[in-house]
Amino acid sequence: MNDAIAALGIADCLTGLKVIDLSRNLPGPFATRLLADLGADVIKYEPKSGDPARALGNLFDALNHGKACHKMDFKHPDDIAKLKSDIATADVMIDSFRPNVLEGMGLSPQALLAENPKLVIVSITGYGTTPNWADKAGHDINFMAMSGVLDQLKTASGEQAMPNVQFADLAGGSDTAVIALLAAVVNAKLTGKGRHIIISMTHSLYNHLVMPKATGKFVKALTQVTPTPEQDFLGGVLPCYRLYQTQDGRYMAVGSLELKFWQGLCQALDVNEHAASHWQMGVLPTHPQSQAAAQAIAQKFASQPLSHWQHYFTQFDVCVTPILTLAEAACHELFANQDEYGNVKPWCDNDCN
């Protein structure tokens, strides 16, 4: 990703920002990876046994290339003293320890801030400071489960799905941490005062449920029934916003949520008789018209393999795309400019081609 960012001319945005990374596994290292890509000087301290992610060589390299990595004994006074000296000149320190671990090493936030008042300390945790939960161990699947996010991932028949993307670690942990720490760094630059920020991946994920919270109320107001995830507004109940199986068992993603896109889809599939069967026309998902429209669209997609529809819909701008495998996505023109770690630029400026 750093090569792509360099091409944009924004790889120096955080030049001069010194970051001490005490985190391990995925959330913290990905957060500091983002900071390093933007020019921050990231110094990673690992235990003598190494970051557990080292067992997955490709993962560790993808998360930590470009950082200065040092191994140390977190129980040895000399190593702790060296670390303290480094933190004293840092702008940011990130950790992923459970509560009181920093204090046990003589690195309490209070002591570090007394030595370096402008320091921004970010602790990425599973459950924040909630009593009875702050000390509990957990992983991505647990944070997703407790936040209510995992329950939202249901199949069309209501079965629980098992995700292979770490939403809690990355969205709840890494991204939230980066947003919070950059805001705190800006404030520290203005006021000279740092702070200790505790990120809860579970609470952050709960806040990410903004759509299900809102659409659930919307559907209930229309139907008088609280919808299950697969029957929610964007969960597959609308003919214009769902997955349709193709002849070869693959799926097309239809996101024709607005009436103009739905009408364009109906025209593309030659089912214009269903063009008015849309929620913006007052046709509720429980209405026979809506169900008939869904059946007609399903029959159309089932008549041809995914390759046919993938090519066919290149001529229509109606929010319809194939569901690509990871291997297919890696070969797609969207991701042509990948670095050696499989990263692509997620942003662009006005000078982008």
Tokens 């008549």 -> residue: 303
Q: Which residues contact 271 (CB under 8 A, 6 or more apart)?
A: 293, 296, 297, 300
Lookup: tokens for 351: 């000078």
Beta bridge partners of 125: 200
Tokens 């004293």 -> residue: 88
Nearest CA to 96 out of 160, 181, 158, 22 is that of 22
Beta bridge partners of 198: 123
Positions marked catalytic: 169
Instruction: Compute the distance between CA of residue 189 and CA of residue 182 in angstroms, rounded to an integer.
Output: 11
Instruction: Compute the distance between CA of residue 186 and CA of residue 182 in angstroms, rounded to an integer.
Output: 6
Nearest CA to 324 out of 246, 235, 251 is that of 251
Coil, strand or helix at 122: strand
